[in-house]
Structure 1
């Protein structure tokens, strides 16, 4: 009986150690880089934007607001530009709340920056805290965007277009 009791105690003590399995670190799959699209078609930019935006989606509670201008030589570019400026100004005028993201990308980055600078002039200082603004473009243009959007209190993120 004494031996049986000892075996029972040893089994009870050993059981938790044999049942425990070391937790494995989650496997991270490498995501293949998506190249910058050569075309000015918005549909061609969707995979690229998904690739660039995925790392910044933490804390975002809604679908991002995406502002995209086509190539400057596209049909009715001036009209598309005016409609984008108007839409951006309306969105900003209604107020963008914490947990939202605004994304700016375009094969016409100079006009995109012009649009951002124009629309953000009317945004009050500190009124967009907790909002992420992502600009995909060149570093020089990124600095212009940063100067235009940071007074609003946004979390500015620059992604180089490449």
Structure 2
């Protein structure tokens, strides 16, 4: 009788643990659902998409910087581009801290690539060791971003926006 009671008690106490494990598995399955890039120029949708891409690829990063741009057709594009470029150049000029992730992306892959390339134009060789640079955009733009980033010593990562 005591053995049966103990087994029932163990089973009852284990149920919440099993339920928690089940919820974690469900959460992981939802988090790994495929992402689809927005098909519109909606800035908010693109910001959400880019943030989610970075979150899914953040492993090991302790500092994260995401540089995004609005639709080039908006009147404030040049001002926003200049602000982002100044910020990114400043961050790159300081040199890298291990564990830092710099991510570039927007609805216009070519403009994001321009921003990334310009940001690394003055980077001293080897100053970004331990830093990851993520470019979220089109394959056609990835090679020129990679060529601009690699002399700095940063690890280049490409994620196709699709």
> TM-score of the superposition, structure 1-length normalised?
0.76
C-alpha distance in 1, partners of 2:115/2:29?
Answer: 37
> Which whole-Å CA distance do the structure 2 matches of 1:49 and 1:123 have between them?
25
Query: Does structure 2 conserve the Cα–Cα contact (< 8 Å) formed by 1:89 and 1:119?
Result: yes
The equivalent residue for 1:61 is 62
1:92-103 matched pairs, under 5 angstroms: 92-103=92-103
Q: In 2, are the aligned partners of 1:139 and 1:160 still within 8 Å (CA)?
A: yes
Instruction: Say which is worse superposed, 75-84 or 128-137, in terms of deviation.
Output: 75-84
- CA separation in 2, counterparts of 1:144 and 1:83? 22
Mapped to 2, the partners of 1:111 and 1:104 lie a distance apart of 10
Does 2:47 align with 1:46?
yes
Is contact 1:33–1:51 with CA below 8 Å preserved after alignment? Answer: no
Q: How many residues align?
A: 142
Shift, 1:49, TM fit: 2.0
Q: What is the root-mean-square deviation of aligned Cα atoms in Å?
A: 2.4
| 1:43 positional shift | 2.4
When the two structures are superposed, what TM-score results if normalisation uses the length of structure 2?
Answer: 0.76
Greater helix content? 2
- For structure 1, which runs of at least 5 residues remain unmatched after alignment? 1-23
- Corresponding residue for 1:151? 151
Q: For residues 61 and 38 of structure 1, what CA distance do their matches in structure 2 show?
A: 31
Q: SS of 2:149's equivalent?
A: helix
Report SS of the residue matched to 1:29.
helix
TM-superposed CA distance for 1:127, in Å, is 0.8
Deviation at 1:140, TM superposition (A): 1.6
Shift of the 119–51 alpha-carbon distance from structure 1 to 2, 3 Å rule, reads closer
Give me the whole-angstrom Cα distance separating, in 1, the residues matched to 2:119 and 2:156.
16
Once the two structures are superposed, the pairs formed by residues 1-150 of structure 1 within 5 Å of their partners are 27=25, 28-30=28-30, 31-62=32-63, 64-150=64-150
